[in-house]
Amino acid sequence: MKRIIGILALVACVAAFTTSCNKKCTCKTYAAGVVLRTDEVELDKDTYKKCSDMNTFVTDDNGQNKTGLECK
C-alpha cells in the first residue's frame, strides 16, 4: 500500500512539473493618457519573458500622457 501511495505521489509531482502554467497579463490601450480598453492577454513565453516586455507605449514630454499598450 505504501508503494502505491508513493508511486501516485511521484506521478502527481511529475504531472505538476510538466504542465505549463499560462500567465495572464492585464493590458491597457492608451490614447493621449485615456484608457480606451483593458484586455486579459495570455503571455507568449516563446516571445516574452514577462508582461512588461509587451509594452509599446510612449509618453509626451512631461511624461504623463501615454499612447500605446501597457501590460502588467
Q: Model's pTM, two decimal places?
A: 0.64
pLDDT (tens digit per residue) in 53-70: 999 999 988 878 899 999
pLDDT (tens digit per residue) in 4-45: 776 767 676 655 554 556 789 999 999 999 999 999 999 888
Instruction: Quickly count helices (H) and strands (E) in the chain.
Output: 1, 4
When pLDDT is cut at 50, 70 and 90, the band that residue 3 belongs to is confident
Q: How many residues does the chain have?
A: 72
